Amino acid sequence: MKFALITVILLSSVGVAHAASADKGQALVEKANCASCHGAGLNAPILPAYPKLAGQYSDYVYYALRAYKVGNANPQFGRNNAVMSSQVQTFSDADMHDIAAYVASLPGNFVVKK
């Protein structure tokens, strides 16, 4: 049963092709004022416990947003964080793809150490 639920969620996240729009994502991020916690350019969080987002892979950001939206409904997949769960409830799947595209487009200072 759990496996079936996970499979359904993974398949639905592959879903129908949606051309993500970073411009639409930017509008959503500004409207929701994500920067009030994640900081200017989503790259300067107001507290060290808040993650930097700028430049993160869009696939990862989308996956994280979905996990907050799913929350307790599927503990195998969902992320239970009261703050972020309340942020994402109104977003559609397409919205989350758009936000992810915008976040990925931002200049960030993540580094890959070699």
Residues that bind ligand HEC (CB under 6 A): 29, 32, 34, 36-38, 50-51, 53, 61, 64-65, 79, 81, 83-84, 87, 99
CA-atom Rg of the chain in angstroms: 14
- d(C-alpha 33, C-alpha 96), whole Å: 15
**Sequence-ordered list of residues with C-beta below 8 angstroms from that of 74, at least 6 positions apart, any chain:** 5, 6, 9
User: Least distance to ligand HEC from the beta carbon of 71, Å?
Assistant: 11
Cβ neighbours, 10 Å, residue 95:
18
Nearer to ligand HEC, 4 or 111 (CB): 111
Nearer to ligand HEC, 27 or 34 (CB): 34
Nearer to ligand HEC, 20 or 99 (CB): 99
